[in-house]
Chains A and B, each alone.
Chain A
């Protein structure tokens, strides 16, 4: 199946700093990628839809100035958590859309201390 790579898998950062997470589609071009957040034992929460070459579409309640999304190419989308705080600690997962389904990355664990 299609492969989506996410990096880094684990990251610890200090409160107030920014951290960038990359999502790459390795063997297909993805015009649309999605970013999710998942708290322990809870379902995926869609944060935003990232479209190549245009601004991301954010879900209600997600701060676009805090969670910066850049979809610079057909194989790469990045999520930057700016001025991170401990409450931003979570599991962040990206996915990329093919013709008729989506494939997920392995996820990135962010811990803000």
Chain B
């Protein structure tokens, strides 16, 4: 079993839809969780950062962490074509160290 699993997609949704992106993990010691967005041929861009369980909201983006289920989610409201990218989850046990990345989910938002 991989340490972090993520559906690679591609996930296609119409413009304006609510998008749900998810990662599951096996290491219960992970405490720090991040979501990155990567456009084609670009480096990943940090979207959201959360610690431990709970929700965090930033504009159209909401990150959820459920440590009991070892499951994290990123929700995108009112999705736009410009949201089309690959979304990577990442997590770590230690403060700022040893990040483990998921393989990424490719999202296409169709106009």
Contact = CB atoms under 8 A, between A and B. Distances in A.
B43 A105 contact: yes
Contacts of A41: 106
**Considering residues B44, B45, B101, B102, which has the most beta carbons from chain A within 10 angstroms of its beta carbon?**
B44
Contacts of B44: 44, 93, 95, 104
Contacts of A4: 43
Main secondary structure of the interface of B (DSSP, over half): loop
B96 interface: yes
Interface residues of A, number: 23
Interface of B: 32, 34, 36, 41-46, 49, 88, 95-97, 99, 101-104, 106
Interface of A: 1, 4, 6, 32, 41-44, 91, 93, 95, 97-107, 109
